[in-house]
Amino acid sequence: MNKIRAAITAVGGYVPPDVLTNADLEKMVDTTDEWITTRTGIKERHILKGEGKGVTEMMYHAVSQMLEKNNIDPLEIDFILCSTITGDMIFPASANILADKIGAKNAWGFDLAAACSGFLYGLEVASKMVESGKYKKVLLVGGDKMSSIIDYTDRNTCIIFGDGVGCVMLEPNEEGYGVQDSILHSDGSGRLYLHQKAGGSMKPPTHETIDAREHYVYQEGKTVFKFAVTKMADVTHNVLSRNYMTGDDVDWLVAHQANLRIIDATAQRINLPEDKVLVNIDRYGNTTNGTLPLLLSDFESKFKKGDNLLLSTFGGGFTWGSIWLKWAYDPK
């Protein structure tokens, strides 16, 4: 019997309609379109507005659209994994809420938190469940409502992040397509440089924590940048070299969209020409868990059966890694 691999068989994506441009931010903090564009590559990001709307609102839209487009009955889904750091509530898991919203009555699931590497970590976990042979239709969703934890008076962070969600369906494949290899890392000592100070069990919410603006993302950008630029490039190179591959063998680099300069450094490390590097950071900013699946959804029509995709991330934790997969279908 051939080895069972986990192949992506469908993708979906959703960003909310409201747009926050660099020109809008110029009116909110001391920044310029020129600074943001040259330092990050971002021009605009989408923001989820509306009372009572959390991340599962966007997950619902992304997944429903994918199910409809691909004629998938939600009752066929066995398992749902939601990678997010901005779940609707601390508990229950957004996977439970999403299952209810889409009518996936036969699925169980949970959330996974690994900051910007959450979708990549989720792909590793979900693909192992498919490879086990027990789960036939696994829904992996990644995304965040970053606007719920961003301080729009802090120019160091508010220019970077946006809201958005993407999703993929994973199914068993015995023809050699799907996830081929992965290298994942984490280093908790990096927590000092990128975190949310209050709201967890170490520092539950109080009037003081709110007054001190401790429920927002805190980032020492320069330090994070230095780690990101080397670690993401290294791990991407390593997953290739241990499979005796070079950049010539790669069709698409699907890299976390945190900063265009970090993406470029990763591409250069494996000698990849610009036309193989997928970029949508200009339109969405950093959607944290949403960046990789939104790339897959935006560029789905370019992928051909057998294409080698390299997915790479770096994020809070620190967390980082790279996964090599063979695309399983031609444009639909």
Site for ligand UT7 in 62-81 (CB under 6 A): none
CB of 312 to ligand UT7, least distance (A): 12
Which of positions 86-105 make contact with ligand UT7 (CB under 6 A)? none
Please state the closest distance from residue 284 (CB atom) to ligand UT7, in A: 12
- In this structure, what token pair is assigned to residue 272? 């990849």
Nearest-angstrom CA–CA distance, 258 and 31: 18
Which entry of 22, 46, 82, 116 is annotated as an active-site residue? 116
Q: Residue 96 or 291: which CB sits closer to ligand UT7?
A: 291
256 is catalytic: yes
> In angstroms, what is the minimal distance from the CB of 123 to ligand UT7?
17
Buried b (16+ CB within 10 A) or exposed e, 201-213: eeeeeeeeeeeee
Stretch of residues binding ligand UT7 (CB under 6 A), selected from 102-110, 216-224, 242-250, 320-328: 216-224
End-to-end CA distance of the chain: 29
Following DSSP, what letter does each residue of 133-163 receive, concatenated? Answer: TS-S-EEEEEEEEGGGS--TT-HHHHTTB-E
Task: Verify whether residue 238 is a known catalytic residue.
Answer: no
> Nearest approach, Cβ of 48 to ligand UT7 (angstroms)?
19
Q: Which two tokens stand for residue 119?
A: 């979708």
Is residue 142 a contact residue for ligand UT7 (CB under 6 A)?
A: no
Out of 256, 259, 280, 289, the active site residue is 256
Binding mask 242-281 for ligand UT7 (x = CB under 6 A): ----------------xx--x-------------------
Strands (E), the chain: 5-14, 18-21, 44-47, 79-83, 108-112, 138-145, 163-173, 178-186, 194-196, 217-219, 252-255, 308-315, 319-326
Known catalytic membership, residue 167:
no
Contacts of 260 by beta carbon, 8 Å cutoff, 6+ apart = 40, 41, 42, 279, 281, 282
**Angle (deg, nearest 10), helices 291-298 and 118-131:** 70
Contact 161, 220 (CB under 8 A): no
68 beta partners: none
In DSSP notation, 30-48 reads S--HHHHHHHH---EEEE-
With CB under 6 A as the rule, give the number of residues binding ligand UT7.
Answer: 21
Q: Closer CB to ligand UT7, residue 79 or residue 193?
A: 193
CB of 165 to ligand UT7, least distance (A): 16
DSSP string over 243-267: TT--GGG-SEEEE--S-HHHHHHHH
Please select the residue that binds ligand UT7; options are 8, 93, 170, 228, rule is CB under 6 A: 228
Identify which of 38, 35, 18, 17 has the alpha carbon closest to the alpha carbon of residue 26: 35
CB closer to ligand UT7, 77 vs 160:
160
Our CB check for ligand UT7 shows the closer of 97 and 262 to be 262
Q: Are strands 194-196 and 217-219 parallel, antiparallel or unpaired?
A: antiparallel
Which residues between 283 and 302 bind ligand UT7 (CB under 6 A)? Answer: 286
Single residue of 21, 31, 106, 238 touching ligand UT7 by CB under 6 A: 31
Nearer to ligand UT7, 66 or 228 (CB): 228
Quick check: 159 binds ligand UT7 (CB under 6 A)? Answer: yes
- Active-site residue numbers? 116, 256, 286
Summarize as ranges the residues that interact with ligand UT7 (CB under 6 A).
Answer: 31, 35, 39-40, 116, 155-156, 159-160, 221-222, 224-225, 228, 258-259, 262, 286, 314-316
